[in-house]
Structure 1
Amino acid sequence: MGKQQSATKKLLKILGILVVLIIAGGVLANLMGWMDGGENEKSVTSAEAELRTITQIVSASGRIQPEVEVIIRPDVSGEVIELNVREGDFVREGDLLLRIKPDIYQARIDELNAMLLTQQSRMEQARSTKLQAEIEYQKNKQLYDRDLISELEFMQSENNFESQKSNFKAAEYQIESARAQLRRAEEELQQTVIRSPKDGTISRLNIERGERVLGNAQTAGTEMMRIARLNQMEVEVEVNENDIVNVSVDDTTDIEVDAYPNRSFLGRVTEIANSADITGTGSAEQITNYKVKIRITTPHNLNAGPEAQIVQVSDQESPAGPPSPIFKPGMSGTVDIRTNTAVDVVAVPIQAVTVRDFAGESADSDTTGSETTEQKRSSGSDEDFRRVVFLNDNGVAKRVEVETGISDNTHIQILNGVRAGDEVITGSYRVLSRDLNNGDAIRVTNSQQLASN
């Protein structure tokens, strides 16, 4: 008998627990909206349209490079017998960088000097022969005028005189040619001494003393070194054709460099390419980009110039703030270009704007400012896609057609259709993009958060 009472108590206890769980589940379902409204009521999230400043951003990635960089190639070939710089050295315009062995070019000058003297000697001989032919010609002319010699003898002397004048002219031209060759050889000798064309830092050094280099007369010549202004760097990025129309010279930018995480640097657009770089031409994956150069305006590479010692002293005196960045050519970076800014405009979260097909609906719907369905169909189109947002109208979704402007990473400008303070539906994505229709009953799950805000 005692065992039966114990089993009965256990059963009643289990039934009580089940009843409590059922009641709790019903309360939870009621709070979550699973019971109210049945299948027709949709659970959504919302946010208020507000006045805010929107800045349109075009993002692109690229690499850091010097704004000014000069490649040094020799004009003449030969062995490097003197090298006066190392990579990283700062040089002034006119400083001696290196010397190429001049022996062969000096020998060429000696050879051409001897050739010039030879040509000058031949010219003097031609001058003497010409004078002799001229005297003979004048003499025979007098004799011919007095009929003392035949016409044939006179014509021979005349022809000889003209021939000797031509020979003398040819000797003069040969001297000019020899002098031109000598000037060229002297220029080549001077080109064995290479000096810096401008102030800058040796950003790359590809040769060592004793190496042989090839001059520009053969192919492109050997790239010996590069001189760059490292205290003025830029970022070269590629911007897609869809975004390049929004970018202008002097647009301000934020630059993030992989080598300096959690830091942002300022920049300014200085150059926009007119010609496109096209990859995958003729294929479905064709990409058209334009190169854009952005000058880094945040002070950097302060130790890359002759003022390095002064800068180091001043940095030691004022250690506050992060140290000046040191950018090197080839570093990766990401750029956010601020293209357009709209101040105090009505804005809603980007996800609140969706697209609906108005084809087949009556022209007197709740939207304004676009072509009617009849106009669309008369033009031969079976689709009429328009941008809309859904407002919370006392628990009912109200579809409103909108005209949008610029956008940033989170919000989009609304030109008309929505006013500041309107409660727009922002989610979920599945509900907004497919399920939600004009006039549907809705339940806002974040209404308490809106009230508290």
Structure 2
Amino acid sequence: MASKAIYTVVAVVGIAAASGVAWWVQNKPAGQAAPGADRPAAGASAPGGTAARPPAVEVARVEQARITDDAQTVGSLRSRQNVMLRPEVSGRVTELNFRDGERVRKGQLLVQLDDQLPRAQIQQAQAELSIARANHKRNQELVAQNFIAQRAVDESAANLQVADAKLALAQATAARLRILAPFDGVAGIRTVSVGDYLKDGADIVNIEDLEAIYVDFRMPERFQAKIRRGQRAVVNIDSLPGRRYVAQVQAIDPLVDANGRSIGIRGCIDNRQLQLRPGMFARITTVFGERENALLIPEESLVPQGGRQFVLKVVDGPDKDTRIARRIEVKVGIRRPGKVEVLEGLQAGDMVVTAGQQRVQRDGMPVRIVELNRPAAEMREGAGGGGAGGAGAAGAVRPASAPADGTRPMAPASAPAPAMAQAAPSAPRGPQGAGGGARPQATGPDPCVVAAADTPRPQRGARPAGG
């Protein structure tokens, strides 16, 4: 029995030893397949050291800038008032009292048609009116002396009214042969000449009111809750590059187009310098709101995960030469090309990782900031050596233009601002118009404000008649 127990113990020990040897043999090649995994990088401590070299990342600072909540669309320009002059009756042109492209005033006689016959009819009507007036006066005197009956006075009074109506008819007929300017504006290019015979409804010349220019455009229906009367929009004209104009939203169509699911909007631009022309193609940026000190980060610094947005924030480590990456959830706002607004989670001046996020395997991991603006000689020198003289050594000399914390340098003040910072429109440059000629200076009240004030508004508290 004792020998059986000894055999059993020896067998168990042998099996355990064989299992251990087999495990060691199986795991030894896997452990040697990636010998560099446990080996520290160049410039770090030797295999007998205590830690590996931190991963390299690129960072940028959280910036404060002015940002606008806006939407872009396209539209067309049109005159505040425009009309095509056409005659109401047929006739031959005898006078043209305007020049192509010159300003005209309201009530100015522009075209005179042949009115010889109507003027003769006016003279005839005036003579008949004079006779009827004299007869009626004489009859009134005679009826006072009982020489005639009252019936004769009534008939003369009726004849006087008929003569007066004939004169009014002749004057109205003659007035229809005089074509006047309906409002102040600029005449277009006429299509008729003196001596032409015009039929009723024929085109003569167009009149355009250019003091204020309307810009008509459409926006998707999802913006109906944001757009309001009085909001401003920045207008860029392709034919006038480098110039930007401010339009004030004056009207919003209450009907949503069922075909395109869009709403019509009309804005007004002060055009007293006569730089804009009706029919121009316009690019409109409607501004819904502005924030002066918005926090912006590069778009590539976001790490989306499960419908949420995260960033890796770089903070100081235990010592001055150590940086640690912290995973922070942020709430984003408006997006712009290359930039995104941060509403919650960061503060101005914080550093976030913009490249190398995949190298940070855990929260709180030490990282090494890559210098992107170092001189070429220093880059070659750092690439060839390790240790303290390597490219990523803590004691490497930074160029004077780079910040001490290793972040990307800010753009100088003279550099072009990003697209989101250009929402503030600039005034038109000088009094020169689109054609290069001298234009009148803008004087008097803003025509867009006057136009808005002339728009009838419903009275507050008014009730329907049946209410």
* TM-score for the superposition, normalised by structure 1: 0.53
In the other structure, the counterpart of 1:290 is 265
Q: Deviations over 1:251-274 (max 9, x none)?
A: 363x4322234x223x23244213
Distance 1:93 1:292, change over 3 A: closer
- Superposition deviation, residue 122 in structure 1: 8.2
Does residue 415 of structure 1 match 2:343? yes
Identify, as 1 or 2, the structure richer in helix.
1
**Paired amino acid for 1:293:** C
- Superposition deviation, residue 402 in structure 1: 1.6
Which of 278, 296, 299 is equivalent to 1:329?
278
Distance 1:339 1:436 in 2: 40
In the other structure, the counterpart of 1:388 is 309
In the other structure, the counterpart of 2:164 is 179
Distance 2:238 2:173 in 1: 46
Distance 1:76 1:349, change over 3 A: farther
Structure 2 spans left out of the alignment, 5+ residues: 1-36, 43-54, 315-322, 373-405, 410-467
SS at match of 1:274: strand
Deviates more, 1:70-79 or 1:340-349: 70-79
| Contact preservation (8 Å) 2:91, 2:114 | yes
SS at match of 2:188: strand
In the other structure, the counterpart of 2:186 is 201
In the other structure, the counterpart of 2:331 is 402
Distance 2:169 2:300 in 1: 72
SS at match of 1:275: strand
**Paired amino acid for 2:291:** A
Which of 252, 265, 269 is equivalent to 1:274?
252
| Contact preservation (8 Å) 1:80, 1:211 | yes
Which of 95, 108, 115 is equivalent to 1:82?
95
- Superposition deviation, residue 99 in structure 1: 0.8
RMSD between aligned residues:
4.9
Structure 1 spans left out of the alignment, 5+ residues: 1-25, 32-41, 137-160, 216-220, 302-326, 358-384
- Superposition deviation, residue 100 in structure 1: 0.8
**Paired amino acid for 1:402:** K
Q: Aligned residues, how many?
A: 315
- Superposition deviation, residue 292 in structure 1: 1.8
Distance 1:246 1:353 in 2: 30
- Superposition deviation, residue 53 in structure 1: 2.0
In the other structure, the counterpart of 2:296 is 347
Which of 50, 53, 64 is equivalent to 2:63?
50
| Contact preservation (8 Å) 1:270, 1:295 | no
- Superposition deviation, residue 102 in structure 1: 0.7
Percentage of matched positions with identical amino acids: 20
Distance 1:181 1:442 in 2: 103
SS at match of 1:329: coil
- Superposition deviation, residue 189 in structure 1: 1.7
**Paired amino acid for 1:341:** E
Q: Deviations over 1:288-311 (max 9, x none)?
A: 2312223357x555xxxxxxxxxx
In the other structure, the counterpart of 2:217 is 238
Which of 61, 70, 74 is equivalent to 1:61?
74
SS at match of 1:205: coil
Distance 1:332 1:233 in 2: 16
SS at match of 1:273: strand
Distance 1:181 1:50, change over 3 A: same
SS at match of 2:252: coil
**Paired amino acid for 2:283:** T
Does residue 258 of structure 1 match 2:250? no
Q: Deviations over 1:410-442 (max 9, x none)?
A: 5443332222234446689xx9xxx99996899
